[in-house]
Structures are given as structure tokens and as C-alpha cells.
Amino acid sequence: AGIYSVTVYDNAGCTASLSATITQPPAFGVTALRNNVPCNGGSVGSIVISPSGGVTPYTFLWNDGTQNQNRSFLAAGTYSLTVTDNNNCTFSLTTVITQPALISVIETHSNVLCNAETNGTISLSTTGGVSPYHYSWNDGDSSTNRTNLAAGNYLVTVTDHNACPVSLAVTITQPVALAVAETHTDVLCNGTNTGSINT
């Protein structure tokens, strides 16, 4: 592209000049705006494509065969796109949709020592997702570590910063109630030691 000038001389020394301008389309480019998957295993990622320059209209071809300009309901992965303008000029780009690691909740607990006591405990350790985490127990508590628990079933729902939930059930057990029964034999004669007790 540019301005080109030419002067033509004939054999008699006569001249003629002209100029020609070669034009070109604006620079062809494509930008991508991506929205990543907020929860591991989800399919809500999206890519918005904005082409510019070149000569419209544009055509779009993704590596999975899709010909839409924009993409939605995407799982995590690598997506490649070739955009072609009306002059057959092409522009290629690759966009990676990411996702957080799977949320994992590990619990350690101690059971009630004696029947009907309230000395059970539960401790939680959470990884993955996006911190901070929020804890919601089925008895209304919101602690990471629980103490003074009676025997029973405890359910916790852990929600990360992206509102992705995972639930975990913990059972606190207790021993059977301790019971003592006795049979006895009374003393036969006053002052003797013939009585007995068996438990």
C-alpha cells in the first residue's frame, strides 16, 4: 500500500506523469473476553469475540467445528478460533477457560467417651475452590472446629468464595449406657457371713 508515481518519456522528449494510490484495509485483529468456570466441573464459561479491521463480514471457525462468533456454556479447556474476513485474510487465537480445583473437605473427629456425655469433637480441613470458605452446619453452627458435641449425625455444607457448595456428613457415636445388675443371697443365721452378691 502506498502512493506510486510514474513519468513516461517518449522519443521526442515529451513527458506524461501520473500517480496511483494503492490502499489496504485497516489492520485485522481479534480480541477475546473470557469468563472462567467458577465451580469445578461446571459448564458456564464463555468467550466473547470482538473482531476489528479487515473487511466485513467475518466468518468464525472454532477447533470443535462451531461457527458461532461467541461461545457460552463452556467447560474448562482450550478453545482455538480462526476468524476470516471478506478478503480471505485470517486471524487465529487461542483462549483457555480455567476452573478452580475441586473443593475437598477432610474431617477428623473424636466420639463421645461415655454414654450421654457431650465431649465429642469435629475438626475440618478444606482445600480447593476459592477461599475464604463459609461453613453451615445442620444445627446452625458456622464453626470450622466443633467441640462439646453429643452423639448424633452432623451435616456441614462448605461454600467457597464463588458460592460453590460441597456437603459432608459426620457421625459422632457413644458407648452403650453402662448398666449394673446384681443377685444376692442373704445371711442365713444372725452373726454369720454366709451372704453373697453377684454382679
Per-residue pLDDT of the chain (199 residues; tens, 9 = 90+): 999 999 999 999 999 999 999 999 999 999 999 999 999 999 999 999 999 999 999 999 999 999 999 999 999 999 999 999 999 999 999 999 999 999 999 999 999 999 999 999 999 999 999 999 999 999 999 999 999 999 999 999 999 999 999 999 999 999 999 999 999 999 999 999 999 999 9
Asked if 58 and 82 count as a contact pair (C-beta separation under 8 A), the reply is no
pTM for the structure as a whole: 0.77
Query: Mean pLDDT in the chain?
Result: 97
Residue 62 corresponds to which cell in the numbers above? 472454532
Give ∠ CA 102-63-101 in degrees, rounded to 5: 10
CB atoms within 10 A of CB 99: 20
Distance CA 86, CA 53 (A): 11
- The candidate with the shortest Cα–Cα distance to 123, out of 151, 105, 144, 137, is 144
Give ∠ CA 126-131-134 in degrees, rounded to 5: 70
